[in-house]
């Protein structure tokens, strides 16, 4: 009788050990997943199906959160997060400028819209779904709209644009471009008493470093061709 009891006890102990080994293996597997694995599991996509967009497969708000060090970004080490931010900087740059352009175009057409937080941004590698906080999207769009409608307000709008952009760059912990966005958009014609038009420079990176997605300076300039800010002329 004692032999049977000891045999059953041994089987139970062995079963417990097997279960513990299995659970430890699962924990180690989960901890070893990279940012793409975590993201794809959350949306129900197998890792092999994630397109290589040069941004760890991240898109939309998940991309913005990762750049800000949250979500998938929290699982990246310092070097990986710095690399992601560098590659994302060109996306942020294009997103901002395209919002200003949309505002100016709508004003010239006599219409107004509520710009969405998401926008498709093209790079040489892929088209990326970019997301920015709605309140900042609206503020940037409004700058373009009001600048085209009331050029005399450009000094005030320039300050608003620079402050909004500085907030976005600070949240993403990315270094601002050398030139303020007000200079990029309005050039040297921000003085409402001047007679010149406010020509906006081309969007190619002036320092030749590319747009942050692994592209060369020349390639980045080509990719920016669809995002030129049209001059806002005085009425």
**SS3 letters across 49-65:** HCCCCCCCCCCHHHHHH
The crossing angle, in degrees rounded to 10, of helices 154-172 and 78-109 is 150
**Residue 12 half-sphere exposure toward CB, CA atoms < 13 A:** 6
Residue 188 pLDDT: 60
pLDDT tens by residue, 131-146 = 999 999 999 999 999 9
Tokens of 192: 């409402």
pLDDT tens by residue, 202-214 = 333 333 334 445 4
Average pLDDT over residues 75-102: 95
- Look at the pTM and tell me if it is higher than 0.85: no
**SS3 letters across 54-95:** CCCCCCHHHHHHHHCCCHHHHHCCHHHHHHHHHHHHHHHHHH
How far is 233 from 169, CA to CA, in rounded Å?
Answer: 29
Residue 26 pLDDT: 66
Instruction: Kindly compute the dihedral angle of the four CA atoms of residues 94, 203, 99, 150, in this order, to the nearest 10 degrees.
Output: 160
Rg of the chain on CA atoms, in Å:
25
pLDDT tens by residue, 215-226 = 433 334 433 434
Length of the chain: 235
Residue 35 pLDDT: 47
Confidence band for 150, pLDDT divided at 50, 70 and 90: very high
């Amino acid at each position: 009788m004692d032999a049977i009891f000891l045999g059953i006890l041994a089987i139970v102990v062995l079963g417990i050990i097997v279960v513990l080994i299995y659970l430890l293996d699962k924990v180690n597997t989960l901890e070893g997943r990279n940012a793409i694995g975590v993201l794809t599991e959350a949306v129900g996509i197998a890792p092999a199906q994630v397109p290589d967009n040069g941004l760890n497969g991240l898109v939309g708000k998940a991309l913005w959160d990762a750049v800000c060090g949250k979500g998938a970004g929290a699982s990246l080490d310092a070097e990986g997060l710095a690399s992601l931010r560098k590659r994302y900087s060109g996306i942020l740059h294009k997103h901002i400028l395209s919002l200003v352009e949309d505002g100016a175009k709508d004003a010239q057409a006599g219409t107004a819209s509520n710009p969405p937080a998401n926008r498709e941004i093209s790079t040489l590698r892929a088209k990326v779904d970019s997301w920015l906080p709605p309140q900042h999207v609206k503020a940037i769009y409004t700058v373009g709209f009001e600048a085209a409608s009331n050029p005399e307000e450009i000094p005030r709008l320039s300050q608003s644009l620079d402050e909004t952009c500085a907030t976005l760059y600070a949240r993403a912990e990315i270094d601002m471009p050398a030139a303020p966005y007000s200079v990029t958009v309005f050039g040297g014609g921000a003085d409402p008493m001047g007679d010149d038009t406010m020509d906006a420079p081309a969007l190619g990176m002036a320092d030749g470093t590319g747009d942050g997605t692994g592209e060369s300076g020349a390639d980045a300039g080509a990719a920016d061709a669809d995002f030129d800010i049209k001059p806002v002329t005085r009425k």
